[in-house]
Amino acid sequence: MSRSVVLVDAVRTPFGKAGSLYAGTRADDLMVRAIRGLLDRNPLVVRESIDDVAIAATTQTGDQGMNIGRSAALLSGLPVTVPGYSIDRWCAGALTAVTTIAGAIAMGVNEIAIAGGVEHMGNHPIGDGLDPNPRFLAERIVEQDALAMGATAERLHDRYPSITKERADLFAFNSQIKTAKAYADGIIQVDLIPTAARNVELGWSIATVDEPPRPSTTLEGLAGLKTPFRPAGRVTAGNSSGLNDGATAALMASEEKAVELGLTIKARLVTYAFAGVEPEVMGFGPVPATIKALKQAGLTIADIGLFEINEAFAVQVLAFLEYFGFADDDVRVNPVGGAIAVGHPLASSGIRLMLNLARGFERHPQVRYGITTMCIGLGMGGTVIWENPHFEGVVK
């Protein structure tokens, strides 16, 4: 048994710089705010009817622990009859929460459910509490570089020597420019849930926009940044995503249930795939994941009209584009900017990609298919292929 699965709606909190905007805010409270904002936007959904809640976090301790899926569901005011569970696939946590929920819906187990992701990198610095098995290095299962994401980005530059620092800097610059334009056009704000933030010095405030974007970025400024992962390297703070805090939430349903309740349909899930690569070049993961997903869908890369590729590092996106033969500035790719500008709170980012793609579908009814794809630490990639419900000529 398989049923059509749709993205009904998705939201996110504004993203903050790690330990800055949300320094006095708990991670689970960020997640609760996203869930409540999602439900407030969809009053036709009876809370008792939600079948499950899957929430991702990369570091599942402290305010991101205690089975954050169940905890956030209870804290959000959902009935005790609504279960919940936690997901961990590092950067692709929210992406995996969506695909896991989608699998249950397609099988007929669930009708309508919530997927989400949160990361408070201020409270949980990347790598905090990790205890890698010494066999990883002792037995050369992975190289030392595999355990440092910036070092894997440098290795990806090595694999693609044509992807120079100048190209990476230009891509990063354009991400900032596109994000600034998207803000000026009011595209991004419409899906941001105003979120309370507390600063020890300034007290309470309401966050309504992302904190990380740097619209004043210049190519000259990017060129002068240090390369912390390798002397005379190519990866800098300017052509990478930052360390961030934020949460995202998505409402998934069977298409039949969405139509029955009169809910919006923002995207129709076609298929998804995850794939593994050498951990030392984890940024290459989106390539085999996309190849695998396209094969499953019976599509080719030429069928895809919009791409939302997570900008963990500029080189990772450029490697994807180079492999498939796209220009660095292809207008189909991240048209409203990406993580280099707005941030990458690890496990939350997959749903941000879906949000951007859904809005792109609305603006481009001539596009039938789009993808959301991202690299994942320790050598993986994840890709979801979506169909545009607004596509001209398709029965809605």
Q: What residues act catalytically?
A: 91, 344, 375
**d(C-alpha 192, C-alpha 204), whole Å:** 18
- CA distances (Å), origin 139, targets 23, 131, 132, 143, 278: 40, 16, 13, 10, 15
**d(C-alpha 363, C-alpha 119), whole Å:** 30
3-class state of residue 115 by DSSP? strand
Question: One-letter amino acid identity for 192?
Answer: L
Question: One-letter amino acid identity for 69?
Answer: G
CA-closest candidate to residue 358, choices 266, 270, 271, 272: 266
Identify the burial level of 107 via C-beta atoms within 10 angstroms of its C-beta, where 0-12 means exposed, 13-18 middle and 19 or more buried. Answer: exposed
Q: Are 334 and 348 in contact (CB under 8 A)?
A: no
3-class state of residue 83 by DSSP? coil
Q: How many CB atoms lie within 10 A of CB 36?
A: 18
Rg (C-alpha) for the chain, rounded Å, is: 20
Question: Which are the contacts of 87, defined by CB distance < 8 A and separation ≥ 6?
Answer: 54, 55, 56, 57, 69, 93, 94, 96, 97, 100, 117, 347
